[in-house]
Chains A and B, each alone.
Chain A
């Protein structure tokens, strides 16, 4: 028992869908549970942070961390796990790139607080109360974690050894990653444990993509009845597949939904959103400025689409944030 490698699974700003994905390993999870000693997994088992604090440096073989970092408690736990672990795996789109919650970075903390604690129609807050990191009540001090100005991907806060993207990551890649650790067959540090090719290369609709695409009007997926076999872009529906890493199993495509980008950029690209713009531009017809502008004006929420899962790791940060 004592010789088994120790594994910690932890959530930061996470919806716990990543925990669900680990549970979905089904039988394989039993093999994993046999082979390792799980020392922390808040969603499934009861552990105390204190027992982690008491551990030696590097005592944990692998920390699987999912979720982005939005507050000081998450930062503290990420740093604690980094200190105690030999390997840190950023698990899922939120830990890797910030995830959907990272879309909040289009707004300032002040905007968010104004809405959530004041302006939202269902809020009644006559005293304009806001969360405080310290409040004294009857001579006692209550504390809350500090809500940061922005959402951060995990590697903004600690060094990360491996990345496993997805929202959530698919079972085959999770099993590969865990067994690679157990069998000591890991690639060089810093690697993303997923194929390096773009999604289009793996997409069953790729062959239906015409050689030359000329889109003059964009439609959103809910506005049309999309053809189930044809490339989405060929139908004038945004699909970020050309700029996104494959490995997801094309789940969305197979359920007639265009790719939103949860696997992040391919190797060698940091900003999948910006990369996608280059390929998208070449598909827009209209050889005069006015027509191009008209087509582009018609794209709803382009920035939200390009950065649906990756805004916190985009090359640009929101200007009003500093």
Chain B
């Protein structure tokens, strides 16, 4: 049996989460996409990530009331909640899509958050190739 290494895509807000690779985490995370605000991540980007083979998608945004653009983080969260409802109908476990609103300017927590998600996705197995 080949071991399953989940392919994760992480959209990460540059204001709240580190992105300068100060502690070398970028090497471990192939698909880390720094964005100017978690609210910039469109639902079509997320669906596209799944279509192109992602087993899970995580969005890192600023804590409640601390969005640099006022409500971007709330918008991101509502999008995720809506999309999770849609994913279920597509037979895709909603756990494959997550949002975390928190603060981590050094990026020290990013590998931890990703690691936790990776473990969960390992349990779910690969998202069967859909295209």
Instruction: Please give the residue numbers on chain A whose beta carbons come within 8 Å of chain B beta carbons, in ascending order.
Output: 106, 269-271, 273-275, 277-278, 280-282, 284, 286-289, 292-293, 296-297, 299, 302-304, 306, 314-322
Q: Are A275 and B44 in contact (CB under 8 A)?
A: yes
Q: Do A277 and B91 touch (CB < 8 A)?
A: no
Contact A271 B44 (CB under 8 A): yes
A322→B128 contact, CB < 8 A: yes
Indicate the member of B47, B83, B88, B128 with the most A CB atoms within 10 Å: B47
Residues of A contacting B83 with CB < 8 Å? 274, 277
> With a CB–CB cut-off of 8 A, which chain A residues contact B88?
303
CB-based nearest B residue for A278: B43
Interface residues on B, range: 20 to 34
- Residues on A with beta carbons closer than 8 Å to the beta carbon of B77: 289, 292
Contact of A281 among B44, B64, B75, B92 (CB under 8 A): B75
A319 to B86 Cα, complex, angstroms: 12
CB of A278 within 8 A of CB of B85, answer no
Which parts of B80-97 form the interface with A (CB within 8 Å)? 81-83, 85-92
Within 8 A of A (CB), among B23-53: 42-44, 46-48, 50-51
Q: Which residues of B contact A288 (CB under 8 A)?
A: 64
Which residue of A303, A319, A320 has the most chain B CB atoms within 10 A of its CB atom?
A319
Contact: A316 with B75, CB < 8 Å?
no
A289 to B131, CA, bound (A): 33
Contacts of B129 in A (CB 8 A): 322
Interface pair A320/B91, CB less than 8 Å apart: yes
| B82–A280 CB distance below 8 A | yes
> Any chain A CB within 8 A of the CB of B68?
no
A303-B89 contact, Cβ under 8 Å, with A289-B77, A296-B82 = yes
- Closest CB in chain B relative to A304 CB, distance in Å: 8
